[in-house]
A and B are shown apart, each in its own frame.
Chain A
Amino acid sequence: MIELKNISFKYKTSLPYVLKDISFKINSKEKILIAGKNGAGKTTLSKIISGVIPILEKGILEGELINCDLSKTGILFQDFEAQLVTTSVKEELIFFPLNKGIAYKDILPYAENLAEKFKIKDLFERDITELSGGEKQKVALLALLSANPEIIILDEPFTDLDPVSRESTLDFLKNELYNKTLIVFDQLLNYYEYFDRIIILNEGKIDYDGNKEIIYKNEIVERAGLELPLVSKIFPGIETEKADLFIMNNFIFNEKKYLELKNSFTEKNNPIIKVKNLNYKYPESKNYALKNINFEINEKDFVVIAGANGSGKTTLMKIIAGIIPIKEKTVELKKGLNIGYVYQNPDNQIFAETVFEEVSFILKMAKCSQDVIKQKTENILKVMGLFEKKDEDPFLLPKGDRQKVACASILVAEPDVVILDEPTTGLDYPSLKNLMNIIENLNKAGSTILMITHDMEVAADYGDKMLLMSEGEILFYGNKRDAFSNEEILKKAKIRTTKLMDITVAANGRLLLNEKEFLLCWSKK
């Protein structure tokens, strides 16, 4: 049993406490979800429970730790890419057990078996550098499980996974780790039913420590800056499985408004980006990353791009942005089109010494005057909630803030087209809403938005068009409502409908995409 007694922690004497008077016990084989918004202290707590603090990382630690033993623990960091220490998937999976003294001949079959169960056997012989973000996250997770640790601590382990992989990972953790202690840190409560115990962390303190009843306690959830799963929020106290019956008994459906919604999509006809017969393979690679890509983007389009991990989404967007140069003239851009690209991993983009320098860099490159640079940079920093941190080193900020810095450093230049590669990864609910509102307003003001996302609730809430990809090919491009109505295509693209969509279809066969549409078409009796 692990126990934390009155734990308080700060990184330096001059800095404020990150954790304040935390006390709780973790029993063997418990499955715990510790939720909290950006800066709530989740990462620090994960490092303390695992023993990383105070053994490997120093700080001012008060209180008593019992059985926080790094040798018995496997911890997956939020920044999982930094934890990949070898060159191939196979070597990665054997590294940890090999260092624990287990013989190679005993590790290999175990690692192969794990990869088989986790459905990544096809990646086994691949080089790490060839993997997509989601594939890397799966490998990093499995690499720590391969050492068979007693306690498994995962800090935001699902951020880069496609919706189907998220669920299969949760199923895998539930089925394969039934005799282990599992502690998952996350910003979301969406997968609460997989856990025995939920802890809510709010500004370094424990605000709730209990069972799944948390979904009936919206006050605590809101106070912590979190969000209840959408269905629990709209139908408080109603079980998801019974929500369709609840709707039928308590709400009236307005068919006219539904038809208006259904027919509201109109295709614009002013293309600014044309992609014709694009095929692409990376230098030295045998396989095509993109195959026969044809589509057009119109001015002011807001396109949500989704698909399985490794399906070519990022490659396609990097080619459009000109980051991956191509020789063939298969991508035609409107003359003078200014495209900004926000990276999937903010650390791939951030390089300056302060937040202000990072965000203002693009304006300096455009040779704007000092006044304009100051005014525009400060403005975007205020909107993104980063103004107080403008003199801090962006690399030392929590991942959610680094994500915001990466977005701000592109949005500040107000480009004609903004490409965002999973911009909501690692953001808590208020930050996510804030960022998405900025993006939506940019679109309303005339910018064209191309956004890759694995978050189907974000996909359901924002944008009107959808581009679905699988194995380097476009499966679907057009009206988002049609995409979510096509089960076969969704399955191929490893996309899931949201629970709210499923409930609306179960209630009367009419698909509604989001809360706004639900409230428009269904009214209380």
Chain B
Amino acid sequence: MSTFFYKNKNTFFHGLDPRIKIICLLLFFLDAIIIKNITGMLILFLVILILFIFSDSLYSLKKILFLFLLVGVITFILWVIFYNGKEVGDIYKKMNYAGFLTLRLLNMLLAGLLFLSITSFEDFSYGLMLFGLPYSVAFTVLLSFKLVDSFMKSAFLIVEAQRARGNDITKGNILKRIKSYTPLVIPLILNGIKKAQNLVLALETRGFSPKNKINLDGKYKIKIIDIIFLILFILSSFTISFINL
């Protein structure tokens, strides 16, 4: 089972230069921060969803939908409870504000997910290098993702191995599941750490060192279509932001 969000697909968005994708991601974050009303957040939300469709990346949204919904619902409830309104008729205001903040968080998460669905870890880390970041920093980003992936894979495999031994811990009510998962937490962490140690050894035998000079000549080239897309993206991004300030 793959725990990666990225799939090597032949869409326009997958083919964009990683530097353009990184700038667009930052613009999405910026929009989410500077937009001041719920309408703007909703527009941004819809734009991201449309991009998910056009980049054929709905599968990754499906993968993590439950978690996003959970985060959304909890955030919304918490902000409704803790909104500091004093008047009796404030419930509408409370909900509006809670919805606004929930959408802000979700927009950031969704933009990040979209980025990871159309950008491989390697393209992300090499993209950072092309912005001038040292290889050690860029590779740390790649390694962090690899380690998260390694832990997630260990978790999937342990669950699968349990099922193979007649212990399906994904079944039953929430209490039963918590009870079944608890004894697996320590082995999962140990397993993950061991795999991380192996990964470090594997990297070093493959010539990796943070001091390496990486020559990416010929790997990436910003095309005219990249520039046109970026200009359009910047224009629409600022338009959405400014009309919703």
Contact = CB atoms under 8 A, between A and B. Distances in A.
Interface of A: 50, 52, 56-57, 70-71, 74-75, 77, 79, 82-88, 91, 95-96, 98-105, 108, 125-127, 129-130, 143-144, 147, 283-284, 321-323, 338, 340-341, 343, 348-349, 351-353, 361-362, 365-366, 395, 409-410, 413
B7 A85 contact: no
Nearest to B161: A349
Nearest to B122: A91
Contacts of B206: 83, 85, 95-96, 99, 143-144, 147
B174 interface: no
A52 B215 contact: no
A104 B59 CA distance: 31
7 contacts: A57-B201, A75-B205, A91-B122, A95-B206, A96-B206, A104-B217, A323-B160
B172 interface: no
A100 B161 contact: no
B146 interface: yes
Given A98-B215, A104-B215, A321 B8 contact: no
A102 B216 CA distance: 9
Contacts of A77: 202, 205
Given A99-B212, A127-B8, A83 B187 contact: no
Given A85-B203, A343-B164, A365-B166, 20 more contacts: A82-B198, A82-B202, A84-B202, A86-B121, A87-B4, A87-B122, A88-B122, A98-B215, A103-B216, A104-B216, A127-B4, A130-B2, A144-B206, A323-B160, A340-B164, A348-B160, A348-B161, A351-B161, A366-B166, A395-B191
B213 interface: yes
Interface residues of B, number: 48
Contacts of A413: 165
Nearest to B139: A99
Contacts, number: 134
B167 A365 contact: yes
Contacts of A87: 4, 6, 120-122
B62 to A, nearest CB: 9
A348 B195 CA distance: 11
Interface of B: 1-4, 6-8, 59, 120-122, 146, 157-158, 160-161, 163-167, 184, 186-188, 190-191, 194-195, 198-199, 201-209, 212-219
Contacts of A366: 166
A361 B205 contact: no
Given A143-B206, A362-B165, A365-B166, A351 B188 contact: yes
Contacts of B146: 85
A82 B195 contact: yes
Contacts of A144: 206
A284 B214 contact: no
Contacts of A125: 8
B158 A127 contact: no
Contacts of A352: 187
B132 to A, nearest CB: 18
A413 B205 CA distance: 40
Contacts of B216: 98, 103-104
Given A52-B201, A57-B201, A322 B163 contact: yes
Given A87-B6, A129-B4, A130-B2, A343 B161 contact: yes
A140 to B, nearest CB: 9
Given A85-B199, A101-B212, A129-B4, A70 B205 contact: yes
A57 B201 CA distance: 8
B164 to A, nearest CB: 4
Contacts of B217: 103-105
A108 B59 CA distance: 30
A75 B202 CA distance: 10
B165 A365 contact: yes
A103 B164 contact: no
Contacts of A343: 161, 164
Contacts of A147: 206-207
A88 B8 contact: yes
B17 to A, nearest CB: 14
A-B pairs, 8 with minimum CB distance: A105-B218, A99-B207, A129-B2, A82-B198, A103-B215, A104-B219, A341-B164, A83-B202
Contacts of A341: 164
Contacts of B212: 99, 101
Given A103-B217, A129-B4, A85 B202 contact: yes
A125 B161 CA distance: 30
A88 B4 CA distance: 11
A410 B214 contact: no
Given A87-B122, A105-B217, A348-B157, A362 B205 contact: no
A127 B4 CA distance: 10
A72 to B, nearest CB: 11
A70 B167 CA distance: 45
Contacts of B204: 56
Contacts of A75: 205
A50 B204 CA distance: 12
A127 B160 contact: no
A399 B7 CA distance: 32
A410 B165 contact: yes
A108 B2 CA distance: 26
A143 B161 CA distance: 29
Nearest to B163: A323
A77 B59 CA distance: 34
Nearest to A325: B163
A323 B213 CA distance: 45
A102 B217 CA distance: 10
A395 B122 contact: no
A206 to B, nearest CB: 25
A52 B205 contact: yes
Nearest to B203: A85
A393 to B, nearest CB: 9
A99 B209 CA distance: 8
A87 B117 CA distance: 13
Contacts of B202: 77, 82-85
B159 to A, nearest CB: 10
Contacts of B2: 127, 129-130, 284
Q: Which of A126, A283, A338 gathers the greatest number of chain B CB atoms within 10 Å? A: A283
Contacts of B160: 323, 348
A303 to B, nearest CB: 19
A340 B194 CA distance: 26
Contacts of B6: 87, 127
A129 to B, nearest CB: 4
A129 B216 CA distance: 25
